[in-house]
Amino acid sequence: MRILLNLIWLVLSGFWLAIGYVLTGILCCILIITIPWGLAAFRIANYALWPFGRTVVDRPGAGAPSLIGNVIWIVVAGIWLAIGHLVSGVLLCITIIGIPLGVANFKMIPVSLMPLGKEIVPLP
């Protein structure tokens, strides 16, 4: 079932959301000081391509630097990516088959807003 949901997700919203994360990651890596945000954007792009069967957990030991970095991320790129997830989720929830995909979009909003200090792990 996860494979089917991931394939439908990839076609309907995952590919476009991943492109947004990759473009954000490239932009962040061009500027030397924002490389940690770029790497986080690439991790989330991978997650945005194939989200079912994986989850986001807090990384142990992430403290104040992650919090400060997340605040900067929200202002620079996080709010726009979260809006992308919100719009995509609402549009997917209009259809019956898209409701699980819309819910997955809504679950990705917190990690799109605060990617530092998070880790993407497979579900058991």
Segment 35-91, tens digit of pLDDT: 989 999 999 999 999 988 899 888 887 788 888 888 989 988 889 999 999 999 999
Measure the CA–CA gap between 22 and 24, rounded to whole angstroms: 5
Segment 10-40, tens digit of pLDDT: 998 889 999 999 999 999 999 888 898 999 9
HEC sequence for 32-58: HHHHHHHHHHHHHHHHHHCCCCEEEEE
Measure the CA–CA gap between 18 and 45, rounded to whole angstroms: 4
Segment 2-11, tens digit of pLDDT: 888 889 889 9
